[in-house]
A = this chain, B = another copy of it.
Amino acid sequence: MFMVSRWEPNARERLVEAALALYVEHGFEQTTVVEIAKRAGLAERTFFRYFTDKREVLFSGAELLEELLVEALRTVPDSVAPIDAVARALNTSARIFEERRDFAIRRQSVIAANRELQERELIKLASLSSALAKGLRARGTDELAADLVANAGIAVFKIAFERWIASGGTDDLAHLFDKCFAELKVVTGEGD
């Protein structure tokens, strides 16, 4: 049935695009939700039906990433050491970002310029970490080790991603993950 809906479709996507464009153009703080909604052809009230707040519009993809990583972790044989299992899970996600390189770069430039957005990003990463820790526990890793490995894995993710963005998305993200994991093993292996 070809039916002409009462409203334009993809309201959510339109809001994300409108928000990102305005954030890039005028900055996050200088952009009001009314402006975003207007640009998407909607009312302010509707924005808040799709996103809990003005920041969330840039982070709605995080749940997807979390599910992806948890699922990837589940498929790694239990015989693989926790840290390597997390490394493999992260590598699985590299494609996703490389496929949306331009979006990722624009988005990250906005986040880098605003502290509130950095806060939101950090809590999303923390949520990722706790999901990974849960996944590790399900594989038999003990509590403390799971927390440590998950947090270290997220640290690697953050640092590698940062460098990938800094390269303009030209570096190979999966290789950066590997490089960081390798370096992590080196720097935690020395000493006492």
Contacts and interface: CB of A to CB of B under 8 A. Distances in A.
A42 interface: no
Interface residues of A, number: 36
Contacts of A159: 144, 147-148, 151
Central interface residue in A80, A84, A115, A148, by most chain B CB within 10 Å: A148
A148 B181 CA distance: 9
Interface in A162-188: 163, 179-180, 183-188
Contact of A144 (B81, B151, B183): B183
Interface of A: 80-84, 115, 118-120, 122-123, 126, 144-145, 147-149, 151-152, 155-156, 158-159, 163, 179-180, 183-192
Given A83-B187, A144-B179, A151-B159, 5 more contacts: A83-B191, A119-B119, A144-B163, A148-B155, A148-B180
10 contacts: A80-B191, A81-B191, A83-B191, A122-B122, A145-B187, A147-B159, A148-B156, A149-B188, A151-B158, A189-B189
